[in-house]
């Protein structure tokens, strides 16, 4: 479940997102549970451009918070699962940045996502994980920064 969630979250965030025109924090689809919307409004006060998506496994809110593109995930039981933030490459820890430059010569950073997991719900998940989208002329890969600030190939994007 952990790998499924992280893969789904990262894939969703590296794809194009469409935000609602308004600045409301209410669900626009009836599938989003009332409890989740209320919890979201409490935990992410100040969020703008909120758009809800419901899948068979998750209820997802995509929004802007403090100028950062952010996504919150809730399971079908209404429990907070994780939050992801699209951040600038400057957010990558220096040790990991040096390792990326050494191990992935010729690749350019396309995007960085920070995932903060609810470890009470999923104790096997890393509390915070960084994922870096790297691309060269022929390949695009996703690299995960480990808690010890080393890098590992997570998946090949294309």
Q: pLDDT at position 138, please?
A: 94
How many residues are there in the chain?
A: 158
Query: What is the CB neighbour count within 10 angstroms for residue 33?
Result: 16
Whole-number Cα distances in Å, 92 to 2, 47, 97, 103, 137: 22, 24, 6, 15, 23
CA dihedral 37, 78, 70, 142 (to 10 degrees): -160
Of 71, 18, 20, 22, nearest in space to 44 by CA: 71
**Contacting residues for 114 by C-beta, under 8 A, at least 6 apart:** 84, 85, 87, 91, 128, 129, 130
Q: pLDDT at position 18, please?
A: 31
Q: pLDDT at position 141, please?
A: 97
Give dist(CA 16, CA 7) in Å, integer: 16
Q: pLDDT at position 137, please?
A: 94
Fold of domain 2-156 = Nuclear Transport Factor 2; Chain: A, (3.10.450)
pLDDT lower than 70: segments of the chain:
1-30
Please answer whether residues 33 and 26 qualify as being in contact, where contact means their C-beta atoms are separated by less than 8 angstroms: no
Q: pLDDT at position 126, please?
A: 92
Please answer whether residues 134 and 110 qualify as being in contact, where contact means their C-beta atoms are separated by less than 8 angstroms: yes
Q: pLDDT at position 158, please?
A: 76
């Amino acid at each position: 479940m952990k790998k499924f969630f992280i893969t789904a979250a990262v894939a969703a965030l590296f794809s194009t997102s469409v935000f609602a025109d308004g600045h409301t924090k209410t669900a626009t689809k009836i599938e989003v549970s009332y409890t989740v919307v209320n919890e979201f409004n409490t935990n992410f006060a100040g969020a703008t451009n909120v758009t809800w998506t419901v899948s068979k496994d998750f209820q997802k809110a995509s929004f802007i918070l403090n100028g950062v593109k952010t996504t919150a995930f809730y399971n079908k039981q209404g429990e907070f699962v994780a939050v992801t933030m699209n951040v600038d490459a400057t957010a990558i820890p220096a040790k990991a940045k040096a390792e990326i430059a050494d191990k992935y010569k010729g690749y350019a950073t396309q995007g960085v996502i920070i995932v903060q997991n609810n470890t009470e719900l999923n104790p096997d998940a890393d509390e915070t994980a960084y994922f870096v989208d790297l691309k060269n002329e022929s390949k695009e890969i996703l690299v995960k920064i480990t808690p010890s600030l080393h890098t590992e190939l997570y998946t090949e994007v294309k």
